[in-house]
Amino acid sequence: MCDTCGCNITRGNEHLISAGGKLEKTEGGREAITVLHDLLIENDHTAQHNREHFNAYGVMAINLMSSPGAGKTALLEATIKTLGDEFRIAVIEGDLETENDAERIRSHGVTAIQITTGSACHLDAYMVHDALHQLDLSNIDVVFIENVGNLVCPASFDLGQHSNVVLLSVPEGDDKPAKYPVMFRTADMVMLSKADLLPVLDDFSPARAEQHLRNLANPAALIQTSAKSGEGMETWLQWLREAVSKHRLELQASPPVQAAHNHHHDHEHPQP
């Protein structure tokens, strides 16, 4: 992340550095590192607020991350087709532009809230917070947050999720966990997507990919999947069922302080 490409300033948090904002910068630019640090702190505060919001309604939130074209939307479509009667699912879609992926999800009868990030190559907690105002969480069990396709910045921004799922598609190569350690170090589940291509792309070694993951001291499950052929999907769905069950048990053991979310809070928002 840097202070020139704009990736640390999003449509969600730009009010913080605007004139009169909490983190307004001077033209000297010497405060760039401090401002970025403070933006991340503010983001984490809002992320915790989002997490409390999810918890108040017993909703599990999953942050789905990968490079562009790794198959996140296809995975969601296959998941919805199989678990649509078992879990009430909603999706928050992040893309720089267009509603293409959101429309694909909606075609399956599932609510999808589109977030267009403009120049920002990741979602942040403020964007997700705004999306939550458009969801009836009392009627949802699982919210998938499909992050912007990028193996760098999304790993640095907490959104209020409970689990991170990272897709590594076979055409990308098996060295990505070594090249993008921050992303894969945060993963609670790694999916080798498009596994139906392994017979063709035989230079991809699942064993090497897993070794790179273990070199990061990450014990996360790693499974081979193909939304197209169905390979590994039952393993993924079982992981998801167990994750939701565990989340519910944790909430029962330590119930949220608030029974329902109160939208009257002290967050700053842009003035209309």
d(CA 6, CA 142): 31
In a domain, 224, yes or no: yes
Q: What is the CATH number of the domain that holds 89?
A: 3.40.50.300
Confidence at residue 113, expressed as pLDDT on a 0 to 100 scale: 97
Confidence at residue 259, expressed as pLDDT on a 0 to 100 scale: 42
In a domain, 5, yes or no: no
In a domain, 25, yes or no: no
In a domain, 200, yes or no: yes
In a domain, 259, yes or no: no
Question: How far from the centroid of its chain's Cα atoms is residue 160's Cα?
Answer: 9
pLDDT in 10s for each residue of the chain, 272 residues: 444 345 656 655 565 555 565 555 544 544 555 556 677 888 999 999 999 999 999 999 999 999 999 999 999 999 999 998 999 999 999 988 888 999 999 999 999 999 988 777 889 999 999 999 999 999 999 999 999 999 998 998 999 999 999 999 999 999 999 999 999 999 999 999 999 999 999 999 999 999 999 999 999 999 999 999 999 999 999 999 999 999 999 999 988 765 444 444 444 444 43
pTM as predicted: 0.83
Instruction: Please choose, from the candidates 157, 112, 161, the residue with its C-alpha nearest in 3D space to the C-alpha of residue 12.
Output: 157
Please list, in sequence order, all residues whose beta carbon lies within 8 angstroms of the beta carbon of residue 59, skipping any fewer than 6 positions away. 137, 140, 141, 142, 143
DSSP three-state, residue 139:
helix
In a domain, 195, yes or no: yes
Strand pairing partners for 144? 62, 91
**How many domains, the chain?**
1
In a domain, 108, yes or no: yes
Dmax of the chain from CA atoms?
A: 58
- Specify the amino acid at residue 138: S
Confidence at residue 5, expressed as pLDDT on a 0 to 100 scale: 46
In a domain, 266, yes or no: no
Burial class of residue 150 in the structure, from the number of CB atoms within 10 Å of its CB (0-12 exposed, 13-18 middle, 19+ buried): buried
Strand pairing partners for 50? none
Instruction: Please choose, from the candidates 104, 21, 89, the residue with its C-alpha nearest in 3D space to the C-alpha of residue 241.
Output: 89
Range of the domain at 220: 51-253
